[in-house]
Structure formats: structure tokens, C-alpha cells
Structure 1
Amino acid sequence: MVLEFEKPIADLEQKLHEMIQLAKGKNVDLSADIQSLEEKLHSLKKETFQNLTRWQRVQLSRHGDRPYALDYIYEMTDNFIELHGDRTVKDDKAMIGGLGDLDGRTVMFIGQQKGRNTKQRQERNFGMANPEGYRKALRLMKMAEKFKKPIVTLIDTPGAYPGIEAEERGQGEAIAKNLREMFKLKVPVICIIIGEGASGGALGIAIGDQVYMLENTWYSVISPESCSSILWRSWDYKEQAAEALKLTSPDMKSNGLIDAIIDEPLGGAHRNLRDMATRIKKTIIASLKELDKINPDKRIVARIDKFCSMGVVNE
């Protein structure tokens, strides 16, 4: 999958590949030309990804090759054991969770999971969790608290599932309960937006001591398309909506809504899963070291104060 603004980069990469194959096939020394093309490619990538619009970052967050929660979990941990079910209705496959060994320490991972192909997307409901998904997430959080294990949430959803059946089973109540209970968890909670962070669907697992965003992700009460359809009665103004919403990681950081941004490899997280997973892992380990030093009661107070201060304006 190649996005529109990535096409010049893809064309140059294709030329580089062809030149390397030609050098090998004809046994010709083209090292100088190859080096020149590599330098040109690097400069083009740097220029392109340093000047992305907000809408282009939204597109990158949805890239078909972008790593999902389970990709990161399996790359970062050893002996990951996925846990299932909310013990009430069913196992919501849009919400995943389980215990994994992170650098010698057991951590409870929870996150939304999308699918790669049509069948997987249907099975995962495009990463849109039902109420049982949020209840499963809360069950796992309470389990982690009981056994004194830190919690890491990986957020990537276009929103909670908006269907009638979800509302009938208490979608709003399930999310609201998660918000309340996450404030009170006695163990460290780290939240990382790895793709899309839309509305209450994202917030339902995003109340933490530390909240991070990957560089090319977005976090907002509404998607640009939905905002455009409400304000302009058309999806054609999604780019303007993205600019107005100020939903990118730099926007969130400048507004004090997240703690830090995790840089992505040049070209986006989909270019190098291992590198991106290593960066996330280092961030989690460093953050846990800081949070471990804080008394649980003080950590809860700080967590509450953190979110209560958001949006407050002193005149």
C-alpha cells in the first residue's frame, strides 16, 4: 500500500532496487550511483515526513501495513499469554489483552486489534469494541491490580462500535465505568496511542499515569470525516476538519493532553516494526522505573489531578 504523498519515494526506491539488481546481474560497479541515489532517497524521505499535514498523519495512522497491538506485543515480550472473555457475554476480538514478560517483568497488555484482510477485519470488527470488550479490558485491569502487575494499553480504534446492539448492552456505561475504575487502579498504568485514537472508544482504555503518542497518530473526540459530515454535510472537507481539530501528536503535546511523543522510524512505523517496537519498549521500561518510585496512593492522586487539569483555563 502506497499513499499519494509516498509515491515519489516509492518510485525512487524502485529505481534504487533496479540499479542494485543491474549491478549484481551485470557484475558492474555502480556503487557511486547507488550511494548517490540512496542519499537522494534519504533526503526526500526526510523532507516529506518533516512537512506532513495533519490529514497526511491521519492517513499514516491508518496505513494498511502499520503494526497493530499484537504485532508490538509479540515483538516486545516473551511468553505472551492472551486472556479472553468478559465473563458475562462473550469474547470481543476487537479488544485483546494478556500477560507478557517485558524484560524480565510481567506486564498486563491491553489494546484494540484491527485485521489485515477482509475476514480478519470482520472478526476484529475493524478495531471497534463492543461493551463486552471494555468489560473484558476492565476485568484484566482488575486482575493486574490484584497480582500487582503494571498495565500497558495500546490504543488504535476508529471508535467504540456504534451499533444498536452495543447500545442495548450498555456501551456508554461500560466506557464510563472503565474511566472511573482506571483512575483508582493502584498499579502503574501506561497508555500509548499507536494508531487511531477516536472518541470514547479510545478514552475507555486511556486513563493512565503516563500517556504517550506515536509520532504519526491522532487523538480526538471525532474523526476528520465525521467532523466534516457534521459541519459541511459532506466528507469532502475532511482535510480542513483535520486542520481545525488539531489532533496530531504535536498538537496534543502542546495542549498538555499527553506526556510525550515516541518518534517513529523515518517513513513511519510500518517501515520498521522491530525498530518501532524497541522504541516503545524502552519508553515503557523507563516510565515504569519512574512510576515504581511513587507511592500507589500518591500515584492515584496525581493521575486524577492530571486529567482534571485538562482544559482548565485561568483568567
Structure 2
Amino acid sequence: MEYLDFELPIKELEEQLDKCKVIGSESDIDVTDTCKQIEKKLNDTKKEIYKNLTAWQRVQLSRHPSRPYTLDYIKALFGDTFLELHGDRNVKDDKAMIGGLGKIGDQSFMVIGTQKGYNTKTRQYRNFGMANPEGYRKALRLMKMAEKFGIPVISLIDTPGAYPGIEAEERGQGEAIARNILEMTRLKVPVVVMIIGEGASGGALGIGVGDKVMMLENTWYSVISPESCSSILWRSWEYKEQAAEALKLTAKDMKKLKLVDEIIKEPLGGAHSNREATYKAVEKAILKNYDELKKLSPEELVNSRMDKYAEMGVYKG
């Protein structure tokens, strides 16, 4: 188990609790009351820490190495029914962008998402979750396929941004993302978007236009990362915490600004602390929103989606 800086008090108490249990099992001393006291203190400390998280601490939680990634959600929600589809039919198959068909119960979905790696080797294989133009073109190909057969789309977002390399720009990174945004606004099937980790810049927007956009509690969604914002404004990464606060990038901020529709509560300690509970919450939210959207005609879906995005940023004095 890895701990973030602000979680160190929890680490100390958990170590104390483990030692207490070991003493109880290896000796005749009754340490039941002591263990209970430590457990109570541990629970109180967890509640206190996670109740008062800053924007930067939520950014840290969204990047936690133990946090479930797109493929973890796909396996939990779709199981053996998931069939991955590859390639953009133009350049290559982008490993940072996952896509394919799967079923929850009797309902088929086209699921698309950005995938990070678990260790150095897989992070390189997945390009650190940063998609190239062919990744966005693959995603668009699958979304248009879903539209053709009347299959709803689920988009899972966890990316530090689109890949900024020269070769990506040469192959039309900006055009690919812009094309996806345009095409997603007019898809004639329900589109449910879920931010499960980082939601940075056009890399997230390229698969982030939907009828319902939801964020897990400890995720962020912004035009730029706090570190990059800090380096531009202050020419140093030292001010990343101030940048995180100023960017209003947390789920709570995004909901208040009416840029997302719903916040999915995470287990105490973050999504990684109780994966099964997180998967169930995500599945429940997806099915609930799909049940609402399936009642609308294709024309109603497109019109309401267009209106939703047209109203963003409108200020009424």
C-alpha cells in the first residue's frame, strides 16, 4: 500500500494497529481494548483528512498508483463480454486509447477510454495514457459504428492530456480532437462520459462530449494541469497548489459551474481503497443515466446535447 504525503498519519496508525494485533496473537496479553482505541482513532483520522482535502490533494489522489484504470473498470463492469476493437484504419492502433463492445446485463455498450500503465514497461506501452491522433480517430470510428447499430457509448477518461510530440502534431492532433468534439455533439445515440482519474486539456475533451458527464469524487477536469499552469504563470512548479485552487478543477467546482452533471461518491480513502464499491457506484450511475437517455429520440438527444454545451459559459447578470 502506497501513501501520499497527507496520508502519513493514517500510515502510522495502521502500523500501530498491525503491531497491536501481532502482540495479541503472539502473547497472552489481552490487547483488545488497545486495538479498538487505535481503530477508532484511525477511523476518526481518515474522516478528518478526507473530509478536508484541498484541490491539490484531490489531484494527487486522482493519480494514486493503486487507483483503478480504464481496463479495471471494463473488466469489472463488462467481464468476459468485452471485445476490444483495434486500429483507426489509417495509421496504427493506439495503445493509449482502448475501445470495444461489451454488455452490462442484456444491454450492449460501446466503451471507449484512455488507459495508463501499471509499471514502467506498461506505461511506455500505453504512452502514459496520452493518445496520438490515431487514438482519437479510432475512438471516432468506434463511436460512428455504435451510432450505425444504435448502441449507446460510454467514455471513461483518465489522461494527463493528448500526446504533445512532434509526430502527433504532424499527423494532425488538433484536427483529430476538434473532429471528435464536433462529431460527438451530433451522435444519434446516448453518450455517457465518466471521468475516473485525470481529465486534462483537449486530451480529455476529445472523448468527453456527452449527454451526461460525471466525475468521481477525487478526480479533476481542466484545460491544463496545475504543474503546467504554475510553470507558465510563475515559471516554476513550486506554485502548483495555488494553481490547483485557482483552476477550480475539482468535481465539486465543476458541478457548481454546471460543467458536469453529477459527482459519484468514492469510498473513504479514494477509489483504490475499496475497488468493488467504486465499480458498483460507477455501474449504477451509468445504468441510471442510460435509462433516462434511452427514452429520448435521436433528434431530442442531439438537440439537448447541443443546448447543454451552448449554455456553458453563458452569464446572466
TM-score, structure 1 as length reference: 0.98
CA–CA separation in structure 2 for the residues paired with 1:5 and 1:310: 35
Partner of 1:253: 255
Counterpart of 1:234 in structure 2 is 236
Indicate the RMSD between aligned Cα atoms, in angstroms.
Answer: 1.0
Residue 13 of structure 1: aligned partner: 14
TM-superposed deviation, 1:306: 0.4
Task: Establish whether residue 41 from structure 1 lines up as the match of residue 34 from structure 2.
Answer: no
Report the alpha carbon displacement of residue 164 of structure 1 after superposing the two structures with TM: 0.6
* SS of residue in 1 equivalent to 2:199: strand
Q: Residue 140 of structure 1 aligns with which residue?
A: 142
CA–CA distance in structure 1, aligned partners of residues 301 and 273 of structure 2 = 36
Q: 2:158 corresponds to which residue?
A: 156
Residue by residue over 1:182-220, the C-alpha shift from the partner in whole angstroms, topping out at 9 and shown as x without a partner, is 011111100010111001000000100000000001100
Gaps of 5+ in 2: none
Q: Secondary structure at the match of 2:82?
A: strand
2:292 to 287, 290, 297: 290
Aligned partners of 2:103, 2:25: CA distance in 1, in Å?
43
The answer for the alignment partner of 1:116 in structure 2 is: 118
| Residues 183 and 300, structure 1, Cα contact 8 Å, conserved in 2 | yes
Aligned to 1:207: 209
Contact persistence 1:72–1:273 (CA under 8 A): no
1:265 aligns with 2:267: yes
Q: Deviations over 1:153-198 (max 9, x none)?
A: 0001110001110000000110011001101111110001011100
Q: Secondary structure at the match of 1:242?
A: helix
Give the aligned length. Answer: 315
Residue type at the aligned position of 1:53: T
Letter in 2 for 1:220: S
2:187 maps to what in 1? 185
What residue in structure 1 maps to residue 310 of structure 2? 308
The Cα of 1:298 is off from its aligned counterpart by 0.6
1:103 maps to 105
For residue 25 of structure 1, what is the amino acid of its counterpart? E
1:60 is aligned to 61
Q: For 2:60, give the aligned amino acid.
A: Q
| Letter matched to residue 281 of structure 1 | E
Question: Which residue does the alignment assign to 1:216?
Answer: 218
Distance in 2 of aligned mates of 1:219 and 1:184: 22
Do 1:85 and 1:91's aligned partners in 2 also have CA atoms closer than 8 Å?
yes
Deviation per CA, 1:25-49, whole angstroms, max 9, x where unpaired? 3255433222222221111111100
User: Within 2, Cα distance between the matches of 1:23 and 1:82?
Assistant: 50
Look up the SS of the partner of 1:115 in the other structure: coil
Tell me the alpha carbon deviations over residues 71-107 of structure 1, each in whole angstroms, 9 at most, x when there is no partner: 0110111321111111110010000011111122111
1:11 alignment partner AA: E
Tell me the equivalent position of 2:77: 76
Aligned partners of 2:238, 2:204: CA distance in 1, in Å?
Answer: 25
Q: 1:278 aligns with which of 277, 280, 290?
A: 280
| Offset of residue 124 of structure 1 | 0.5
For structure 1, which segment, 98-107 or 282-291, has the greater mean C-alpha deviation from structure 2 after superposition? 98-107
- Hey, what's the Cα distance between the residues in 1 that align with 2:186 and 2:194? 19
Q: SS where residue 87 of structure 2 aligns?
A: coil
Letter in 2 for 1:308: A
**Deviations for 1:222-268, whole angstroms, at most 9, x for unmatched residues?**
01111111111111111111111111000000000000100000000
- Secondary structure of the structure 2 residue equivalent to 1:280: helix
Gaps of 5+ in 1: none
Over 3 Å counting, the alpha-carbon distance change for 1:132 and 1:43 in structure 2 is: same
State how far apart, in whole Å, the 1-side matches of 2:18 and 2:281 are: 28
SS of match in other structure, 2:181: helix
CA contact (8 A) 1:92 1:129 kept: yes
Give CA deviations for 1:250-296 in whole Å, capped at 9, x if unaligned.
00000000001000000001111111011000000111111111122
TM-score (norm 2): 0.97
